[in-house]
Every structure is written in C-alpha cells, then in structure tokens.
Amino acid sequence: MTLLPPAMPVALLSVQDDSKAQALAEIDPARPIADEMAGQALSMFGREDLIAATSDDYKPTGCPPVAGAGGVIETIVQRARATSVVIVNESHERSEHRGFAARVARALRPLGYDTLAMETLSNPTSDQFVPPYRIRPNQPFLEDLDGYYLSEAGFGRLGRQAKALGYHLLAYEEPFSPTTPKLSPEESITRREIAQAEQLATYIAAHPEAKLLVYVGYSHATEVPRANGQKWMATRLKAMTGIDPLTVSQTTCRGGGRRERLAVLPADQPVGTFDLIVDHPSARFVRGRPAWRRVAGDRSVSIPKALRPARGWRIVEARPVGESEASVPMDRVAIRPGEVVALLLPPGRYQLKVLDVPAVAHPDGTE
C-alpha cells in the first residue's frame, strides 16, 4: 500500500455550490449528532460510526430468520432467473448496503442483467447541465456531479464495479423543475413514484431484451400498495409493464445475527411488500470505520499525523494515482482533532487530497 502526500497544501473546501459540503460545515464537530438531520451528511463523509448509536437505520429489529433459507446472494440469483427486473433498496445512511448491491450486480451479470438503474443518478431536464457520466461514459469512475449519494465512497465503488462489468447506467429519477406546482407531501410522493415508474417502463419498452437491476432508497422498492393505499414506484412499475419484479429490502430488518441472512417480513407489513428481506448484522466499527469493508478486502491505512486537523472538520480523500480529482475517490472521510481514524483501501497506490471545512457559527456562539 502506497500513499502519496497531497500534491497541494491543505485547501479550504468551498461550500457555496456544494450542498453536501454545506451540510457537513453546519455540523458541530464537538456535538456531531445534535442535529437530527446530520445522519446522512456524516454517512456521506465516511462517519457512520458517529450516527450508529442513535440512527433508526442501525437499531436491531428482532426479525426471525427464514427457516431453511439458503445463501442470500444465491437465493437472489435463483429468483432473478424468473424475471427481468430486480429491485434492491438501501438506507441512505448505511454504506454496507452499497457494498451488498455491488455483490448483487456482480452475481446477476452472468444471467444477462445489463442495466443498472440508480435513483441517485442526475437526471436533468435541460441541456444547461449534462452530468459527467453522460459526457464521458467510458471513464472507469463516476464523478461527484453524477449524483448526490454517489459522492459517498461506497456508492462510488458500486459505480466503478458496474462500469467494469459492462452495465449500462440508467437515470430514472423525476427531473427537477422550478415550475412544478407546490403539492402536499402525499401528492409529491405520488407524482414522484409515477414519474420514476414511467421512465423505467419507457426504457423497458424500448429495450425489451434488457434486464434491469434497479437500486432505490427505502420504500420505492415496495411491491404492493401500503395500508394507507399509497403506491410506491415498484408497485406502479409492475402495473405498467406486467413484469413481476424481484424486490429485495435491506431496510426492513437488521441486527438479527452474526451473518447476513434472509428474514421473515414483519407482521405489520402488507403481505408481498417485498419478495426477500435481507437482514444484515449489527454494524461494527474499527478505528472509526465500518468493519464490513475490511471483511470485503480493504486494508486500514493510518492517516499521517501531519495531515490531521488542529480544529474543525477536515476531509481526507484517496484516489488511484493518476486519476482525475473529479472522480469519486476510493475513500473519503471527515476527521476531527484528536481522532485516530483510518482510511479503508484495497491494495494499490493512492494520491491523497486534504480539504478543510470552513467553520460555521452555531447558536451557542461556538464554531
């Protein structure tokens, strides 16, 4: 493992046009979870360890296992043979879900699955902004501007693997428009779910031989109407196309055992909500970083003392040597003074980049 020092001195991160950076800047390093909205921002910058004790997405649920179930990936592959659409959901706060999705993508490729549709991919309505993945489709990495959640290193790695495997990347999110009328929360959900399903259905109609792996957040993978009658994307896509998708939830059950396993759908969920429930073990952290990545082959690499901050948040990034700084790095982590936090990287040679996050004044007068 080789780490090359930053090519330039520590730079001050600009938050003016970067909502993710702004979200981190607004988090008090001394009280990082005081703001209930901090969870996704801290996860985006590699600090799931700071939110795991309080986030609902990490709390064990007590779901019983499916009796006699085989391996999780093997079961998904077996069930995927009977359809052409597999929908997997994630928590936006758990990078492990992205690592699991990467494993699913690899396992499904030999079955002919060739399109990876990701909710997070930028899907603009005008030509004023064209995301990099469309301009440079053959580059082996994604860029921060390709999508909001893609800036998290685990999501970036999912994109890298999908590209290496030859998947076509498909955006299907409802395009943002400033002229969209103001709607109630329920009306907004309905509008968004219809728009997502319509875009996927249009692609399927134009590419009848395609097989899709669709990666979504939370309830978008719900395959039947909710008790209140709400129809999420998967329900609508099924009705529009006549295709019965294989729906896989990673957000319903958690903390059930020492290994990932298939769990029973909780009794308070409508029958058929998801086809398969994946129950991941409770999250563990070593030197501030998720242990699952070490199990997957990453090595813990110490951040040199000279690069650790004296105050505030500092972001440390590691990219393969020679790769553009526009790429989503192989690892990106926010650290605070006095912390011994590791980078997590597969073997290789990496160029470091260091960015300081500007302090934001807090109500108590601190920065």
DSSP reduced 3-state for 323: coil
d(CA 248, CA 202): 22
Q: How confident is the model at residue 17 (pLDDT cuts 50, 70, 90)?
A: low
Q: Residues 59-107: pLDDT tens digits?
A: 999 999 999 999 999 999 999 999 999 999 999 999 999 999 999 999 9
* Full 3-state SS string of 61-86: CCCCECCCCCCHHHHHHHHHCCCCEE
* Full 3-state SS string of 186-228: HHHHHHHHHHHHHHHHHHHHHCCCCCEEEEEEHHHHCCCCCCC
How many CA atoms does the CB half-sphere of 22 hold within 13 Å? 6
Q: Judge contact between 79 and 267, C-beta under 8 A.
A: no
> What region, left, alpha or beta, does residue 163 occupy, with left being phi > 0 and alpha being psi -120 to 50 degrees?
alpha
Q: How confident is the model at residue 113 (pLDDT cuts 50, 70, 90)?
A: very high
Average pLDDT, whole number, for the chain? 93
pLDDT of residue 317: 97
pLDDT of residue 366: 53
CB atoms within 10 A of CB 9: 6
Q: Judge contact between 44 and 20, C-beta under 8 A.
A: yes
d(CA 315, CA 211): 38
Alpha carbon 175 to chain centroid distance? 19
- Evaluate if residue 7 carries a pLDDT over 90: no
CB atoms within 10 A of CB 281: 17
Alpha carbon 304 to chain centroid distance? 28
Amino acid identity of 98? R
H or E, element range at 262 = strand 261-263
- Evaluate if residue 112 carries a pLDDT over 70: yes
Tokens of 232: 């999420």
